[in-house]
Chain A
Amino acid sequence: MNKITMRDTFWNRVYGLAKEDKNVIVIAADMGAPSLDKFRVDFANQFINAGIAEQNAMLVATGLAMTGKKCFVYAIAPFITLRCYEQVRNYPAGMDLPITVVGVGAGICYEDSGPTHHSVEDITLFRCLPNMQIFNASDNNMTAKFADMAYQSKHPNYVRLDRIVLPNIYDENYDFSSGLGVLRDVSDINILSTGNTIQTALEVSDFLKNEGISVGVIDAYKIPIDYDVFSKTVQGAKKILTLEEHTLPGGLGSHVCEIVMDLGLNIQVKRVGFDFSKKYCYVYGGREVVHRAYGMDANSIREMIKGMM
């Protein structure tokens, strides 16, 4: 089990990049991490605290990018995506600049903080932006690679990190270029998920394997999903349950439905995620409790999979 958080994994890697390249700049909107404490001391000229002012942070990153800097703009996920959404839309995305938005707090990992801190619309909002690549991390080895991939990219990126420590799923040398990770062989019935709910998907798949039922698990860690990669990956699949700690409209499940429809694939899709059509989540007591309340826990998913068979 890892002991280091995703954000520390990410910033440790950025530390290495910044050491080699003085054009790497981290702009934090009053957001820290133990690893960033070292960064801001060792590379004072490459660290900017923009204060609790996400709009200006994104605009300053834009100006810096126009002078050749590689900016990582960092805050709690809902703030660095929603407060400055228009700035992200017009500048990193609209002008196609190599700026990386880094949000910690994917989904409801700040569940104790209530809806203001939940990041549950960001996939919908970012996947429709031109040139934007979402990197949604499900383990630390992937997270470290995301730092490299974002650094090498000539386009805008959004790295979406979880707050908690997740067990490693991928090998350190795994090739993350395709965007879809097949974690359990694709079967008739499959779970396609992203981020921390991959853990739920694996738990369900492994449990059902003991009952003689094989359930494929696919990790969509890069969004938008590449259509060709998708169609090759899901060959042979008849049913896909999408699982996301995100609101349903426009999220991962919607994305999968669009691809299946656009490609004319004969695949049945069932979407599982948050229904916030009436109100946001005010359930406390841990993420598991929230998952149970919304039918997203392993038991509920298991029953849904059986119901789809």
Chain B
Amino acid sequence: MDYSKYEQKAHELRNKILDLTTNAGTGHLTSSLSCVEILTALYYGNILKYDPKNENWPERDYFILSKAQGSPLLYTILADVGYFPESDLKLFAQKDGKLSVHLQNSVPGSEILCGSLGCGYGIAAGLALGFKKNRTANVVYSMLGDGECYEGSIWETATFVAHHRLNNLITIVDRNYACATHFLEDELSIEPFADRWRAFGFDVKEIDGHSFEQIFPILNMTHSHCSSRPLVIIADTIKGKGIPMVENIPLWHSRPIPKEMYDEAKRELNQEEQR
């Protein structure tokens, strides 16, 4: 398969979120960079069913970004696919703007208010159960951060999802190994991470979260996922992926690249692309 058009889109999105966060002087750049390929596949690869012209389309699939720190990326995509004008991105977290550093349900396509970790996933479970009760075919995709999995409520939800066999909920963990201040495995390990999910009753797929060759075969089968065991995709990623100067440095977590470092970051990003 030729994934070059998705690689090109991912690169374009990385440039846009760098511009957006540096321009705003805020926003979680590195949290956004780690999940670019997965969201590119979901939104541009015919995985998610959605209609930007009809944000409340009842038959749509739901994407619940539980790690709402990825909002610079999600908002960039929502604007790009037509949920709202791209000009709104220029006012990200600015006076008279509509977009905040975290998710607001008032923003078309964002579905929920989110920012506090450990919450979106339970809502995704409720949605999936509601669609089962309503006998509708909507699929719910929820992306968690690995650091978010420190929250006890994630495991309350995992218990619930497995018991109710919510196979219409696809759980994706952005396993970028870093929180706001530290690497997970150094200071408070969550391993054996895949085994934890297996023990809760999930089917686990572990992939390279930056490889479309690995992402698409899994996501392509999610609409027909009929195992009674719900699916979790653990996507191994790099926090800050694409801009080496911020890659894998936890303390860049909530920092945008300052204006004086912007040119260098841009250069790195575009060199990476050529590489």
Instruction: Please list the residues of chain A having a beta carbon within 8 angstroms of any beta carbon in chain B.
Output: 25, 45, 48, 50-51, 53, 55-56, 58-69, 86-87, 90-91, 94-95
Instruction: Please list the residues of chain B having a beta carbon within 8 angstroms of any beta carbon in chain A.
Output: 105, 111-114, 116, 118-119, 121-131, 133-134, 152-153, 156-157, 159-160
| Closest CB in chain B relative to A22 CB, distance in Å | 8
Q: A53-B159, A62-B123 are in contact. Are A95 and B130 (CB under 8 A)?
A: no
Can you identify 14 A-B contacts, CB atoms within 8 angstroms?
A50-B160, A53-B160, A56-B156, A59-B153, A60-B157, A62-B112, A62-B126, A63-B126, A63-B128, A66-B111, A66-B123, A66-B130, A87-B119, A94-B113
Q: A60-B129, A90-B114 are in contact. List 16 more A-B contacts (CB 8 A).
A: A53-B160, A55-B153, A59-B123, A59-B126, A59-B153, A59-B157, A62-B126, A64-B127, A66-B112, A66-B123, A67-B126, A86-B119, A91-B113, A91-B119, A95-B112, A95-B113
- Provide the bound-state CA to CA distance between A10 and B194, in Å: 44
Tell which of A55, A60, A61, A90 has the most Cβ of chain B within 10 Å: A60
| Closest CB in chain A relative to B140 CB, distance in Å | 8
CB closest residue in chain A, given B62: A66
- Provide the bound-state CA to CA distance between A87 and B121, in Å: 12
- Provide the bound-state CA to CA distance between A255 and B204, in Å: 52
- Provide the bound-state CA to CA distance between A197 and B125, in Å: 40
Residue among A60, A65, A90 making CB contact with B125, cutoff 8 Å: A60
Chain A residues near B153 (CB-CB < 8 A): 53, 55-56, 59, 87
Chain A residues near B114 (CB-CB < 8 A): 90
B113 near A51 with CB under 8 A, answer no
Chain B residues near A64 (CB-CB < 8 A): 126-127, 129-130, 133
- Provide the bound-state CA to CA distance between A91 and B115, in Å: 12
Chain B residues near A60 (CB-CB < 8 A): 122-123, 125-126, 129, 157, 160
Q: A50-B160, A59-B119, A91-B113 are in contact. Are A68 and B126 (CB under 8 A)?
A: no
A91 near B123 with CB under 8 A, answer yes
